[in-house]
Amino acid sequence: MSKILGDIGERQAVCYLQQLGFTILERNFYAKFGEIDIVALKDDVVHFIEVKYSKSYDPLERITPSKMAKIIKTAKLYMAKRAEVRPFCIDALIIQSDTVELIENISII
């Protein structure tokens, strides 16, 4: 996906999450082994959200075991750097055409 489409998708994702009551803590958190698209807080749980946007394929298929391992490592680093002691989980936010869907707890840590 192009950077422009990615940015549009992430902005749409942020608005959607805020409507659901999430507080956005950070966008595009980078570590040497990966990136988290959105870090958000809701009900005292930190959510690490991978945003996937597509018009022509199932975006969830793009979250491979290798990608998931990188997300988990990056999430653990985020928690350690911020001395967070809250529970956290990995979510996927899928954007397809006019549909937005949040899939929570694709991996519970």
DSSP line for the chain: --HHHHHHHHHHHHHHHHHTTPEEEEEEEEETTEEEEEEEEETTEEEEEEEEEESSS-GGGG--HHHHHHHHHHHHHHHHHTT--S-EEEEEEEEETTEEEEEEEEEE-
How many domains does the chain divide into?
1
Structural domain boundaries, residue 7? 3-108
For 13-71, the pLDDT digits (tens) are 999 999 999 999 999 999 998 999 999 999 999 999 999 887 666 666 778 889 899 99
**Sign for the pseudo-dihedral over CA of 31, 33, 36, 37:** positive
For 68-98, the pLDDT digits (tens) are 999 999 999 999 999 888 999 999 999 887 7
Provide the CATH number for the domain around residue 91: 3.40.1350.10
